[in-house]
Structure 1
Amino acid sequence: MTDLVPPPSTSGKTLMERVEDALLPLINLVFLLLMFFIVAGQLADDPLPELPAAAQARDQQSPHADLIVNAEGDWRVAGEILEEDSLLSHLPEPTDKQPLRIGADETITMADLETLLRLLEEGGYEDVLLLTEPGA
């Protein structure tokens, strides 16, 4: 009895040699894509320029904080400088849902910050959130 489908012609190559021959174009394609992305990445090395409107908006934006402490140790609530005896009356009531947000200048000393935190603790604030800016 004869086979209906003739066996594939191997032209004398083993199965591994035929697989290697079939993979060679794929390897070449991957290599060319790799070279393309290496060259394209080096051409666009500079970051995109910042848009003027975005720079102005960032400069005008201040942190949304309930209390702001600057480098001189002044305590500001809604733009008004307050003293130790009137600070607690101008702050929002302490709640469990929303912690008090404090924006502190990067040059403030730990002693000034500790004085403020002790005053807030005496006023009933158990949770505070210290806002920081990422370093440049």
Structure 2
Amino acid sequence: MTDLVPPPSASGKSLMERVEDALLPLINLVFLLLMFFIVAGQLADDPLPELPATSASTEQQPPHADILVNAQGTWRVDSKTVDAQSLLQQLPEPDTQSPLKIAAASSISMADLETLLRTLEQGGYEDILLLTEPET
């Protein structure tokens, strides 16, 4: 097994110089990892839309969303109730630049939400933003 710090007789350097030489690759590695995470980490440019419960206004209006899902699990697109067969025809084409927005009631069942997400997945939608209101 080799020593990380060479013995003093082989290098002719003092102990401090040898320790500094041994730390240089570690410093380079940490610097490269730091640069990688700075470049790889991305922040979203688009903030999340403001939900009605968090806004200062007193009027209740639903958030701008492509699909509204009420507590009973019915789906509404452009103020029209739709079913699984007609949902994909009513929605815009899947777009990689802007995700599909779903405004769901906080009391929706997980089974209803899973049915909707599976239908959207079959339609080719990959990016979906789920908007809910916090319970007050």
Q: Same fold (TM over 0.5)?
A: yes
Correspondence for 2:134: 134
Are 2:66 and 1:72 aligned?
no
Q: TM-score, normalised by structure 1?
A: 0.56
Say which one has the larger Rg: 1
Percent of pairs with identical residues: 59
Question: CA contact under 8 A between 2:99 and 2:127: conserved in structure 1?
Answer: yes
Deviation at 1:132, TM superposition (A): 1.8
User: Residue 92 of structure 1 aligns with which residue?
Assistant: 92
2:100–2:127 contact (8 Å) kept in structure 1: yes
Check the 8 A contact 2:67/2:77 in 1, yes or no: yes
Aligned-partner Cα distance in 1 for 2:96–2:58: 31
TM norm structure 2: 0.56
What secondary structure is seen at the aligned counterpart in 1 of 2:103?
strand
The alpha carbon displacement at 1:83 in A equals 1.0
| Pairing 1:105–2:114 present | no
Task: State the shift of 1:58 in Å.
Answer: 3.5
Distance across 1 between alignment mates of 2:87 and 2:58: 29
Count of residue correspondences: 82
Cα deviations by residue, 1:23-81 (Å, 9 ceiling, x for unpaired)? xxxxxxxxxxxxxxxxxxxxxxxxxxxxxxx97x4423211100001011110001100
Q: Which runs of 5+ in 2 are unaligned?
A: 1-54
Equivalence map 1:1-136=2 (5 Å):
57-136=57-136
Cα distance in 2 for residues equivalent to 1:93 and 1:86: 14
Q: Cα deviations across residues 97-129 of structure 1 (Å, max 9, x unaligned)?
A: 000000001111001100100000000000100
Kindly report the root-mean-square deviation, in angstroms, between the aligned alpha carbons of the 2 structures. 1.6
* Cα distance in 2, alignment partners of residues 102 and 70 from structure 1: 11
